């Protein structure tokens, strides 16, 4: 097995003129991010770039971390509802909220950026666990052996209809409003961020991706492509993008693959 621990690749696809996706890896912090600028709004590329920049600043600002830890301790001590049990999950949620404020305030300040927005999926690998935060329909998957599982939940109209038993999951591909999302960064001054934590195992592979991949490639095929790369995350990333383009490449395609090393599990 290769020692490569992550790979990141973003592609404009075959239809769009510009790439509105952004991705970021902060390897020393175990932070991985995919943001998909909303094509139906102004300046989706700007929104996704602001998002990854804001999250980077959140994790690299040495002065912020002690203050954030004190805030977390006070919330835990006072038993404030909604406070996660771990600082890592709390920090990730606050990072995405910070990104939302950055996108929203920029849009308010610059008229040409009005209504810009972005989805985001972010992961932090720390102490044998993966922490995920998401807003929108960019996704996180875990590939463990020959099994693939979607870990994030889409904030989309289609998913809302599935939850209400109006739409069957197998009919989503033919649903005319499958790309309508109900939650995104930057559209409002505050946003609800979903976070979760899962234990890792050595060799687990996690995939973060924009819907340019998942709208065209089925989950089982994603698993097969990653497994067929035999440990090469770079090859797996290239092949995932290539297959999405073969199927039409109707949107930007971004993938980040992360392997859990022995010391993290």
CA distance 11 to 180: 22
CA distance 50 to 44: 10
Q: For the chain, how many structural domains are there in total? A: 1
Token pair for 81 = 């509802």
**Residue 11 contacts residue 251 (beta carbons within 8 Å):** no
CA distance 17 to 221: 27
The pLDDT tens digits for 31-83 are: 999 999 996 667 999 999 999 999 999 999 999 999 999 999 999 999 999 99
- In this prediction, residue 261 has a pLDDT band, given cuts at 50, 70 and 90, of confident
Does any domain span residue 1? no
Residue 264 confidence (pLDDT): 52
CATH code, domain carrying 161: 3.60.40.10
CA distance 103 to 48: 8
Quote the mean pLDDT of the chain: 94
- Indicate if the pLDDT at residue 153 is higher than 90: yes
Range of the domain at 260: 6-264
CA distance 208 to 33: 7
Average of per-residue pLDDT across 144-172: 92
Polymer length in residues for the chain = 265
Q: What are phi and psi of 233, to 5 degrees?
A: -70, -35
- In this prediction, residue 1 has a pLDDT band, given cuts at 50, 70 and 90, of very low
Average of per-residue pLDDT across 97-105: 98
Does any domain span residue 103? yes
Average of per-residue pLDDT across 202-206: 96
């Amino acid at each position: 097995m290769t020692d490569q621990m992550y790979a990141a690749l973003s592609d404009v696809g075959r239809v769009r003129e510009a790439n509105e996706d952004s991705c970021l890896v902060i390897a020393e912090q175990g932070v991985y991010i995919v943001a998909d600028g909303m094509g139906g709004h102004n300046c989706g590329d700007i929104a996704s770039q602001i998002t990854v920049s804001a999250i980077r600043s959140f994790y690299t600002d040495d002065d912020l971390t002690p203050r954030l830890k004190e805030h977390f301790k006070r919330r835990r001590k006072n038993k404030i509802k909604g406070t996660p049990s771990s600082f890592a999950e709390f920090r990730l949620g606050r990072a995405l909220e910070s990104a939302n404020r950055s996108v929203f305030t920029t849009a308010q300040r610059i008229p040409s950026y009005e209504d810009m927005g972005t989805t985001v999926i972010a992961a932090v690998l720390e102490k044998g666990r993966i922490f995920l935060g998401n807003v929108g329909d960019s996704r996180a998957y875990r590939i463990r052996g020959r099994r693939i599982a979607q870990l994030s939940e889409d904030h989309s109209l289609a998913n809302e209809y599935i939850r209400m038993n109006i739409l069957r999951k197998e009919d989503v591909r033919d649903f005319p409003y499958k790309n309508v999302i109900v939650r995104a960064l930057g559209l409002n001054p505050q946003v609800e961020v979903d976070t979760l934590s899962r234990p890792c195992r050595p060799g687990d592979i996690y995939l973060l991706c924009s819907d340019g991949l998942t709208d065209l490639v089925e989950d089982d095929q994603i698993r097969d492509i990653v497994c067929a790369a035999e440990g090469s995350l770079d090859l797996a990333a290239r092949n995932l993008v290539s297959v999405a383009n073969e199927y039409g490449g109707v949107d930007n395609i971004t993938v980040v693959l992360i392997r859990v090393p022995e010391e993290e599990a």
